[in-house]
C-alpha cells in the first residue's frame, strides 16, 4: 500500500467507528458520557500522527477519538471507556473526554487548553533528557484564545522545545463562529511569529498536505529547532457535543455557505487502482468500511459485557490526606 492508501484506510476506519458510536449513543443511551466526535476532521489526526514515531507522544483536547485511534490507541479500550467500564483505557473514570493510553504514546485528553501546557512540559522533559522524542498537542481554535496557549508558546520558544502545536480550526468554539471571537484579519498560525516560532497554515481536509507539513514540522522539532505551530482548517459534521448533525443547529460544515470538502472523498479521488494492487478505490473503501464495522461491533459487544469499576476503587488516583 502507498502512504496515501494507508492514511485513507485509517480515515475510513475512524469515520466508520465514530459514525457507529454516534448512532449507538443517540439510540441506545448506554454511553453516559459527553461525546465530541471528530467526524469530518479525520485528516488532521491521521495526517499528523502518520508523521510521528511510536515513541513520540500525543495530547489532545476533548475531541479526542480520532487522535487517540490515529496514534495507535486500543479501540476496545476506547469503547469500553465510553461505556464507563473497568476495561476502559482510563478504567472507566475518564469517559470520552479523558482518554489515555501511554503504551500507544497517547498521554491524555482534556478540555480547553489544559493539555497545551502539559504537552509542553512533556517536551521539556524530553529536551532535558537529551531525547529526540517529539510531543504533538491537538487543540481547537477556541483554545488558541486561552492564556495558556500564549504562555506555553512563549515557554516552548524560550527553551527551544520539541513540541508540535496542532490547532484543528473547525471555525467554531461550541456554537460561536470564528468571526465573533477573533479580530478580523488575524490568524492562529501568525500568532506564533510574535514568539519567533515557525508555523504554517494548511488545508486540514487534505491528508497528504497535512502529512507533508507535519513531517517537516516534526523534522525541525526533532533536530532541536522547535517548537512548531500548525493551523489546520477543517469542519466538523456533527454537533459540538453529541451525535446530532451540525446542520440541525444552523452551523458547522453543512450549515456554512462554504462548501465542505470531505477528506475521505479527496483522498479516494487521488488514488489509482495501481496504488491498491489493482483494486478500485471504491471497492477498497467499501471493504475497509466493512472491516471497521465488524471491528467496532465486537468492541461494543465486549464493552457491554465488561464489568463496571468497583466502588472500592473510588479514591484510587485521588490526592487526599
Q: Which stretches within 101-163 are classed as H helix?
A: 114-129, 147-159
Instruction: Name the burial class of residue 309, with classes exposed (0-12), middle (13-18) and buried (19+) by CB atoms within 10 angstroms of its CB.
Output: middle
Label the pairing between strands 172-173 and 176-177: antiparallel
Per-residue tens of pLDDT for the chain, all 321 residues: 899 999 999 999 999 999 999 999 998 889 989 999 999 999 999 999 999 999 999 999 999 999 999 999 999 999 999 999 999 999 999 999 999 999 999 999 998 889 999 999 999 999 999 999 999 999 999 899 899 999 999 999 999 999 999 999 998 887 888 777 888 888 899 999 999 999 999 999 999 999 999 999 999 999 999 999 999 999 999 988 988 887 655 555 444 434 578 999 999 999 998 889 899 999 999 999 999 999 999 999 999 999 999 888 888 878 766
* Distance from C-alpha of 109 to C-alpha of 96, rounded to nearest angstrom: 9
The answer to whether the beta carbons of residues 173 and 142 sit under 8 Å apart is yes
What DSSP line would sit under 231-289, residue for residue?
Answer: EEE---SB-SSSSSBGGGGT-STTTSSSPP--HHHHHHHH--GGGGTT--HHHHHHHHH
- At a CB cut-off of 8 Å and minimum separation 6, what does 81 contact? 88, 89, 90, 92, 94, 95, 96, 99
Sheet order of strands, 57-60 included: 106-109, 57-60, 135-140, 163-169, 228-233, 198-203
* Distance from C-alpha of 136 to C-alpha of 234, rounded to nearest angstrom: 18
Q: What's the pTM?
A: 0.93
177 has which bridge partners? 172
* Distance from C-alpha of 215 to C-alpha of 209, rounded to nearest angstrom: 10
Cell of 136: 504533538
Amino acid at each position: 500500500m502507498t502512504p496515501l492508501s494507508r492514511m485513507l484506510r485509517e480515515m475510513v476506519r475512524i469515520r466508520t467507528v465514530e459514525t457507529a458510536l454516534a448512532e449507538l449513543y443517540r439510540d441506545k443511551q448506554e454511553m453516559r458520557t459527553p461525546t465530541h466526535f471528530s467526524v469530518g476532521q479525520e485528516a488532521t489526526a491521521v495526517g499528523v500522527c502518520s508523521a510521528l514515531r511510536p515513541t513520540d507522544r500525543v495530547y489532545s483536547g476533548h475531541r479526542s477519538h480520532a487522535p487517540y485511534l490515529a496514534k495507535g490507541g486500543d479501540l476496545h479500550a476506547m469503547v469500553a471507556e465510553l461505556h464507563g467500564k473497568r476495561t476502559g483505557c482510563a478504567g472507566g473514570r475518564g469517559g470520552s473526554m479523558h482518554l489515555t493510553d501511554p503504551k500507544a504514546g497517547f498521554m491524555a485528553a482534556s478540555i480547553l487548553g489544559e493539555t497545551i501546557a502539559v504537552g509542553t512540559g512533556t517536551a521539556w522533559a524530553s529536551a532535558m533528557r537529551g531525547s529526540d522524542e517529539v510531543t504533538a498537542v491537538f487543540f481547537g481554535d477556541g483554545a488558541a484564545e486561552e492564556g495558556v496557549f500564549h504562555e506555553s508558546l512563549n515557554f516552548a520558544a524560550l527553551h527551544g522545545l520539541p513540541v508540535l502545536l496542532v490547532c484543528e480550526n473547525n471555525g467554531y468554539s461550541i456554537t460561536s463562529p470564528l468571526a465573533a471571537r477573533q479580530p478580523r484579519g488575524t490568524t492562529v498560525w501568525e500568532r506564533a511569529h510574535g514568539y519567533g516560532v515557525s508555523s504554517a497554515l494548511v488545508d486540514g481536509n487534505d491528508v497528504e498536505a497535512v502529512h507533508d507539513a507535519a513531517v517537516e514540522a516534526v523534522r525541525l522539532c526533532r533536530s532541536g529547532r522547535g517548537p512548531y505551530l500548525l493551523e489546520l482548517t477543517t469542519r466538523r459534521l456533527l454537533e459540538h457535543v453529541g451525535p446530532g448533525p451540525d446542520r440541525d443547529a444552523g452551523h458547522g460544515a453543512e450549515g456554512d455557505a462554504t462548501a465542505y470538502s470531505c477528506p475521505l472523498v479527496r483522498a479516494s479521488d487521488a488514488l489509482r487502482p495501481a496504488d491498491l494492487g489493482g483494486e478500485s478505490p471504491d471497492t477498497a473503501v467499501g471493504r475497509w468500511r466493512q472491516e471497521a464495522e465488524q471491528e467496532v461491533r465486537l468492541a461494543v459487544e465486549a464493552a457491554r459485557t465488561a464489568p463496571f469499576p468497583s466502588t472500592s476503587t473510588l479514591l484510587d488516583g485521588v490526592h487526599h490526606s
